[in-house]
Chains A and B, each alone.
Chain A
Amino acid sequence: MSAPLFKYGLFGDEISLIVAFVIGIGFGFFLERAGLGSARKLTAQFYLTDLSVFKVMFTAIVTAMLGLFYLSWAGWVDISLVYLSPTYLLPQLAGGLLLGLGFVIGGYCPGTSVVAVSTGALDAWLYLAGVMAGIFVFGEMFSSIGPFFYATDMGSLTIPDLIHLPYGVVVLGVVLLALGGFAGAGWVERLFAPPSRES
């Protein structure tokens, strides 16, 4: 009945920073465990030789989605207090496209590049410098890009609300999608497995 703990005032802003640090440790740990601190492993995703990124990400999404669903169903978590960032469809589609291009060019995404830095990848430093340069360009362009940035505002919108299906049905749909995707991923990996091993 009283989670999210922070939103029910169980601790304050200062403590929340310590929580952030601890949660970050878990985040970084599992990213590295999965190999997502390596640009080669990350980009192998896009050459279909190793779909770990897809597997890790979708498993994490399914796990957190199921956990949140059941904790809310049981009444322990108030799901409406969990932050749902508003949807701005067009800028998010465009931003996603840019991110995808940058991903395969740069080899990391912002989170994984931090892991790469922590384990000694020097290129990840340059990548991060690039990220900040990109943010700087965005910031300087903000007044002109503003109208597009705020275009197609759909508010805080979930897929169940969009397609008018019960939340649980969409949860099942995502699980099935993920399991189908995993089966497909295994098949694709066997298909595109490199004939010879290179280190």
Chain B
Amino acid sequence: MSSSSPALTAVATDEADTTRPAAYMNPYLAGVGLGLVLLAAFVVMGRGLGASGAFTSLTAIAVEAVAPEHTRANEFYAGYLERGVGHPLKTWLLFEVLGVLVGGFLSGALAGRVGRRIEKGPRAALGTRLALAFAGGALMGYGAKLARGCTSGQALSGGAVLNVGSWAFMLMVFAGAYALAWFVRRQWT
């Protein structure tokens, strides 16, 4: 958006990315865009955005395929299997996540940012990085279920409706991440 505006040069926080094909958008403008998308979800659907719920549906379906009895007896999985418009795969969040996949690709392609890569710091070993990607994901999957949502569903959507639990959650996300950052600095810096 309006990259010719002299205003943007003053806030270019992306100097480190000059080797990238295109600079990232002004974070505040992107934030307004994201906020309007969230607002649209409120106005049209009466609900916020989400992500981890889609993967919970996928997990529940996968577990059910292996052990149907066990899965249906589990209150947690059963709750997710009951969702969906006629089929547990046809849930709102899963379709939303499909959209995220398309939207992310669209933006990346327009900016020339699509390409095979592995995101890691210059000092990080490849194997460690991949193992930690899995481990971090597992911690987050577990944490997101305990907290009833992830950064999208709780922090973003709940934050905008001034939900007490969401704000408490958000504080703890930042606290946890900053507390551990120093110990894994070799991965990223």
Binding site for B on A (CB under 8 A): 3-7, 13-14, 16-35, 37-41, 43-47, 49-52, 55-65, 67-68, 71, 76-77, 79, 81-89, 91-124, 126-140, 142-143, 145-146, 149, 154, 156-162, 167, 170-171, 174, 182, 189, 194, 197-199
Contacts and interface: CB of A to CB of B under 8 A. Distances in A.
Contacts of B103: 24-32, 115, 118
Interface of B: 13-19, 24-25, 27-28, 30-52, 55-56, 58-60, 62-63, 74-77, 85, 90, 92-108, 111, 113-122, 129-130, 132-156, 158-181, 184-185, 187-189
B101 A114 contact: yes
B16 A135 contact: no
B136 A127 contact: yes
Nearest to A40: B119
B137 A114 contact: no
B57 to A, nearest CB: 10
Contacts of A103: 136, 140, 151, 173, 176-177
A123 B129 contact: yes
Chain B binding surface SS class:
helix
Contacts of B129: 123
A-B pairs with lowest CB-CB distance, top 7: A106-B136, A24-B99, A130-B137, A100-B176, A59-B31, A63-B35, A134-B141
Contacts of A106: 132-137, 139-140
A133 B160 CA distance: 30
B125 to A, nearest CB: 13
Given A60-B32, A137-B138, 17 more contacts: A24-B98, A25-B103, A26-B36, A32-B107, A40-B120, A43-B187, A46-B181, A47-B181, A64-B36, A93-B172, A103-B176, A108-B136, A110-B140, A115-B104, A122-B116, A198-B122, A199-B16
A151 B119 CA distance: 38
Given A3-B43, A87-B164, A162-B164, A132 B59 contact: yes
Contact of A139 (B77, B122, B155): B77
A64 B35 contact: yes
A169 B141 CA distance: 35
A83 B154 CA distance: 11
A86 B30 CA distance: 29
Chain A binding surface SS class:
helix
A92 B164 CA distance: 10
Contacts of A16: 45, 85, 92
Given A24-B96, A34-B25, A96 B140 contact: no
A82 B108 CA distance: 32
A101 B180 contact: yes
Contacts of A101: 136, 139, 143, 176-177, 179-180
Contact of A95 (B33, B49, B147): B147
Given A6-B44, A86-B165, A107-B136, A119 B108 contact: yes
Nearest to B57: A135
Contacts of B59: 132, 135-136, 139
Given A98-B176, A110-B152, A118-B102, A138 B141 contact: yes
Contacts of B105: 28, 32, 118-119
B177 A126 contact: no
A17, A60, A128 — most chain B CB neighbours (10 Å): A60
7 contacts: A4-B44, A28-B105, A32-B106, A95-B169, A97-B175, A109-B150, A110-B150
Contact of B63 (A17, A18, A136): A136
B137 A92 contact: no
